[in-house]
Amino acid sequence: MADIIQLLPDHVANQIAAGEVVQRPASVVKELLENAIDAESTEIKLIIKDSGKTLIQVIDNGKGMSVTDARLSFERHATSKIRAAEDLFNLHTKGFRGEALASIAAIAHVELKTKQEQDELGTQIEIEGSDLKAQNVVVTPKGTSLAVKHLFFNIPARRNFLKSNAVELRHIIDEFHRVALAHPSIVFAMYHNGSEIFNLPSSNYRQRVVNIFGGKTNEKLVPVEETTEVLKISGFVGKPEFAKKTKNEQFFFVNNRFIKSPYLNHAINSAFEGLVKDGAHPSYFLNLTVDPKTIDINIHPTKTEIKFDDEHTLYAILRSAVKHSLGQFNIAPVLDFDSDPNLNTPYDYKDKSVATPPTIEVDRDFNPFKEKVSHGVGSSKPAVTFKKQNTSSWDSLYVGLESKSTQQDHNFSEVEFESDSKNETLFDDSQTETTQATYQLHNKYIVSTIKSGMLMIDQHRAHQRVLYENLLKNMTVKEAVSQQLLFPLQLHFSSTELPILIQLKEDLESTGFAFSSVKDHTIEITGVPLGVPESEVSIILEQLISDVEQEVPDSNFSATDLLAKSMAKSLAIKTGQSLNKQEQEHLVNSLFACKEPTVSPTNKTTFITMSVDDIDKKFM
């Protein structure tokens, strides 16, 4: 039989390797930023277009490359950072595998410009899918510029696999944060689609944290310092009361390299035990310095996981150091950094929410989102979204609400739900004359009688469902009514928060928000959706940002849906709010006019029913 084994051609091998190194635009960002740092740059600029799908460019002022090195840098296993396997155990650089550039060049259009200090002229190289397209002598400043265009141009499957721009940008910003935090003395700037997102001057660590996460952060930070024989810890943890719903203010750096370590994270959580609420995550920005010989960073292709020789000791030291700092802080708050007045937010949402706890007025005659609760007004359109089994049980669900709701029709616009027609069968026509009694239980549930027994609705979830469907509809047909603000509202956002809002601008506008200007981390809001109180705006937007941040990156992300969910959550009647009879009925009616009344937008049960039989059983 003939021999069948072949050596893969280099460009194929590179494409395969690229799969490991480059999962998404953010992976390229990480590799290029790390190379710039390894080149001893003091200023690094990151330029992104379309969340990295069109362009990722890193410009540094580092040591540059000679003509030969420039060519060699794109070869696989070409590295200036290690010479022998032993060097792996004494690494002081980020890179060492010599894989990144070869991999990136295999799956994108790459343009390199580089010049060393002593050289008069630099080198320009263009590579497309591992093919050298051009090599020229150019005039270029000292340092290196590497532009990566059309990532995955030759692997359409990968390209299609990329998430929405908002999600990919989020990943890029995460990588940028990690690198920028690990190197506070390096000047970093980041631009997305032509606008500056970050401009970080050379500073100390505390200032770097504040410059990235916003002026509000300064007061949150508690210093942690500890030096032992095996480990040096320095950095900050966030005060417990500022613990976040998201984990994106959690950073461990080991020898200036960002790492993920569930085990060490656990050490921090245990130090915070009893101090933060369930589901809240303390912020931390911690640098651990250990002897490079005691760690192995080679176990993961993207190098965010490392192996420590003695994890248990590190765990114990870390936990006690954090506990100690928190304890000290309880006695005397620590503020050791003169805050730059420009960093402080002009609008402090924390204080605000304490002074005026959020309340939503439910005015039955007032219609924030042009909803229509027209039960019993049949349209000829069949409702396609109803599930069979539900329909049949709803047939017998209701008694007596129909007459009430029909009276309300004149209050509402002409927008119709697909499900309107279905409601006819939801209600028992024979009893339309009776006024249906509803009762509010513990300002949380609305109880009502139905043909078969009893119905109990969770008011907060039910209202979320109602608002969600209305918001979604408004966003798709773009007909929301905006309410002009007499005095525009200025809201301050951190450099992380701002891009999220900008991404969502169009969707926000379709709900009725109007933004007039975006500069210096400040958004000027000139219009809000009709019915949204001004005092709620910052809370809604903060909630929205936190929801976007929390969105699992790999789940299906739809900005419109998320915005509708988030706003519905913020605006819905809260548990604890007392509702009068009319409000109760209105809510019940609106819920059953929804396409999917059974669950809240986050898939939680909105109501339960109990048949007389069930109740009878309880009395047996």
CB of 149 to ligand ADP, least distance (A): 17
Here the tokens at position 521 are: 């981390």
CB of 251 to ligand ADP, least distance (A): 22
**Residue 536: strand, helix, or coil:** helix
Chain residue whose CB lies nearest ligand ADP: 95
CB of 31 to Mg ion, least distance (A): 5
Binding status of residue 512 toward Mg ion by CB under 5 A: no
Binding status of residue 510 toward Mg ion by CB under 5 A: no
Nearer to Mg ion, 147 or 167 (CB): 147
**Residue 242: strand, helix, or coil:** helix
CB count in 10 Å sphere of residue 575: 13
Q: What is the 3-state secondary structure (H, E, C) of 109-129?
A: EEEEEEECCCCCCEEEEEEEC
CB of 158 to ligand ADP, least distance (A): 19
Segment lying near ligand ADP (by CB under 6 A), choices 75-83, 317-325, 368-376, 555-563: 75-83
Segment lying near Mg ion (by CB under 5 A), choices 92-100, 246-254, 289-297, 355-363: 92-100
Binds ligand ADP by CB under 6 A, chosen from 17, 59, 65, 155: 65
Binding status of residue 585 toward ligand ADP by CB under 6 A: no
Residue 600 CB partners (closer than 8 Å, separation 6+): 458, 461, 462, 464, 465, 468, 606
CB of 146 to ligand ADP, least distance (A): 6
Angle at 473 between CA 166 and CA 413, to 5 degrees: 150
Binds Mg ion by CB under 5 A, chosen from 25, 52, 62, 95: 95
Binding status of residue 21 toward Mg ion by CB under 5 A: no
Nearer to ligand ADP, 125 or 537 (CB): 125
Binding status of residue 143 toward Mg ion by CB under 5 A: no
CB of 317 to ligand ADP, least distance (A): 31
CB of 248 to Mg ion, least distance (A): 25
The alpha helices in 433-496, defined as continuous H runs, are 459-477
Specify whether the CB–CB gap between 280 and 244 falls below 8 A.
yes
The site map against ligand ADP for 91-110 (x = CB under 6 A) is: ----xxxxxxx---------
Strand 109-115 with 232-238, pairing = unpaired
Q: Which helix (H) or strand (E) holds 192?
A: strand 187-192
Q: What is the 3-state secondary structure (H, E, C) of 324-359?
A: HHHHHHHHCCCCCCCCCHHHCCCCCHHHHHHHCCCC
Nearer to Mg ion, 35 or 145 (CB): 35
Angle at 246 between CA 173 and CA 315, to 5 degrees: 95
Nearer to ligand ADP, 80 or 449 (CB): 80
The site partner of 295 among ligand ADP, Mg ion, none (C-beta below 5 to 8 Å per kind) is: none
Binding status of residue 370 toward ligand ADP by CB under 6 A: no
Binding status of residue 27 toward Mg ion by CB under 5 A: no
Give the C-alpha separation, 195 to 243, whole Å. 30
Binds ligand ADP by CB under 6 A, chosen from 66, 80, 203, 550: 80
The alpha helices in 356-477, defined as continuous H runs, are 388-395, 402-407, 423-426, 459-477
Strand 284-289 with 250-254, pairing = parallel
Specify whether the CB–CB gap between 99 and 82 falls below 8 A.
no
Specify whether the CB–CB gap between 440 and 450 falls below 8 A.
no
Specify whether the CB–CB gap between 93 and 39 falls below 8 A.
no
Total of residues contacting ligand ADP (CB under 6 A): 22
Binds ligand ADP by CB under 6 A, chosen from 11, 49, 71, 81: 81
CB count in 10 Å sphere of residue 322: 25
Nearer to Mg ion, 103 or 218 (CB): 103
The site partner of 144 among ligand ADP, Mg ion, none (C-beta below 5 to 8 Å per kind) is: ligand ADP
CB of 514 to ligand ADP, least distance (A): 43
Query: How many alpha carbons lie under 13 Å from residue 559 in its C-beta half-sphere?
Result: 20
Binding status of residue 35 toward Mg ion by CB under 5 A: yes
Binding status of residue 168 toward ligand ADP by CB under 6 A: no
CB of 46 to ligand ADP, least distance (A): 12
CB of 140 to ligand ADP, least distance (A): 12
118-157 as b/e, with b when 16 or more CB fall inside 10 Å?
ebeebbbbbbbbbeeeeeeeeebebbbbbbbbbbbebbee
Give the C-alpha separation, 568 to 374, whole Å. 21
Nearer to Mg ion, 35 or 511 (CB): 35
CB of 37 to Mg ion, least distance (A): 9
Give the C-alpha separation, 372 to 236, whole Å. 52
The site partner of 142 among Mg ion, ligand ADP, none (C-beta below 5 to 8 Å per kind) is: none
Binds ligand ADP by CB under 6 A, chosen from 123, 144, 250, 436: 144
Binds ligand ADP by CB under 6 A, chosen from 62, 122, 240, 531: 62
Q: What are φ and ψ of residue 104, in 5° steps?
A: -65, -45
Binding status of residue 303 toward ligand ADP by CB under 6 A: no
CB of 35 to Mg ion, least distance (A): 4
Binding status of residue 116 toward ligand ADP by CB under 6 A: no
Identify which of 483, 356, 470 has the alpha carbon closest to the alpha carbon of residue 416.
470
Binding status of residue 100 toward Mg ion by CB under 5 A: yes
Identify which of 518, 524, 519, 521 has the alpha carbon closest to the alpha carbon of residue 494.
521
How many angstroms separate the Cα of 433 from the Cα of each of 268, 381, 523? 62, 27, 52
Binding status of residue 459 toward ligand ADP by CB under 6 A: no
Segment lying near Mg ion (by CB under 5 A), choices 88-96, 399-407, 426-434, 515-523: 88-96
Nearer to ligand ADP, 31 or 542 (CB): 31
Here the tokens at position 190 are: 């980041």
Residue 431 CB partners (closer than 8 Å, separation 6+): 399, 400
Chain residues 31-60 in contact with ligand ADP, contact rule CB under 6 A? 31, 35-36, 39, 60
Q: Which helix (H) or strand (E) holds 582?
A: helix 581-592
Segment lying near ligand ADP (by CB under 6 A), choices 61-69, 224-232, 328-336, 428-436: 61-69
Q: What residues line the site for ligand ADP (CB under 6 A)?
A: 31, 35-36, 39, 60, 62-65, 73, 78-81, 95-101, 144
Q: What residues line the site for Mg ion (CB under 5 A)?
A: 35, 95, 100
